[in-house]
Amino acid sequence: MVNPHSGTRLGRSAADMIRYIEDVAQQAGHHARVVTTQGPGHATELVQEALPTEPWAGVVAVGGDGTVNEVARALVHTPTPLGILPLGSGNGLARHLGLPLTLKASLQRVLAGSVSTIDSARLNEYPFFGLAGMGFDAHVGQLFSQQAQRGLATYVKVAMEAYWPYQPQTYVVNGKPQPAFSLSFANAGQFGNNAWVAPQADLSDGLLDVCTVAPFPKLYGTALSYLLFTRQMPLSTYVSYQKVQEIWVETEQPPLIHYDGEPVQLATTRVDVRIVPQSLRVIS
């Protein structure tokens, strides 16, 4: 399932890449049916249509975390495993799984890798496999989704422009008011690009790692960013964690959230997040 609009490495070379995938699969003794998605939600529809037609050895998402989410949600609680060719902007789930980030190496892993079972999660009706959240990260995710250019440089630019005017909000978490710069619900440990918000997160422990970043002085932002990209977020006095199977959050106004990097404006003030243990088979 190829998303030609993912990240910075598809688009112009999508046709060549499709031919390469088909050729390499054939040389390895496999039949690969390669399909290009046409818009949001299309990958899910394509997987649902394809699953009953043949006993597929796997369904492979080619793109970023959004594409992975669309493919994976159709594979939850099925015997068919998810493969990933991580060619998106951040590739958070692929990085957590330790997958290669080049087309050649990741394709070889898909064709020869082993299958394991991981957890998934849900935020209200939205399935997610890496992270979901509220607060600053969701705000930046929405701004980033509006940009013509993808990639890390664009994300950093958007985040820096949004940082100074952003004001923390108060959430009611399991009935207790909690001021926070951001709330993250981590199945996997990172947003992507090695931004490790919950480096201790385990994809198969049946638990979510909830990361709360409390309000902090604006000048502390540089230090917090350093901890984020060096897997040291737990060292910050402004960061706290709890492991949960489920958690609920209430807000005064319907919040903006993100799941696997995709921003969504909710219509409700109630957010319920829960783990779905051992629900997705993956090739890694």
pLDDT tens sequence across 151-168: 788 888 999 999 999 999
- The pair of three-digit structure tokens given for residue 255, joined into one six-digit string: 């919040």
Residues 254-276 pLDDT 10s: 999 999 999 999 999 999 999 99
What is the pTM assigned to this prediction? 0.94
| Domain spanning 11-113, CATH class | alpha beta
110-149 pLDDT tens trace? 999 999 999 999 999 999 999 999 999 999 999 988 888 8
pLDDT of residue 76: 98
pLDDT computed for residue 12 by the predictor: 52
- Which pLDDT score is estimated for 9? 56
Query: In the chain, where are the structural domains located?
Result: 11-113, 127-277
- Buried b / exposed e across 254-265, counting CB within 10 Å, b at 16+? ebbbbbbbbbbe
Q: How far is CA 255 from CA 133, 216, 252, 258, in A?
A: 10, 21, 8, 10
Which regions of the chain are under pLDDT 70? 6-12
* DSSP3 helix / strand / coil % (the chain, rounded to 5): 30, 30, 40
Q: Say which CATH architecture domain 127-277 belongs to.
A: Sandwich (2.60)
Say what the pLDDT of residue 169 is.
Answer: 96
Tokens linked to 36: 């290009």
How far apart are alpha carbons 41 and 52 in whole angstroms? 19
Phi first, then psi, for residue 57 (nearest 5°) are: -75, -20
Q: Give me the pLDDT at residue 253, please.
A: 96
The pLDDT, as a whole number, for residue 255 is 97
Distance CA 275, CA 240 (A): 19
pLDDT at position 113 is 92
Instruction: Name residues whose C-beta falls within 8 Å of residue 206's C-beta, 6 or more positions apart in sequence.
Output: 119, 245, 275, 277, 278
Count other Cβ atoms within 10 Å, centred on residue 85. Answer: 30
Query: At a CB cut-off of 8 Å and minimum separation 6, what does 32 contact?
Result: 21, 22, 25, 26
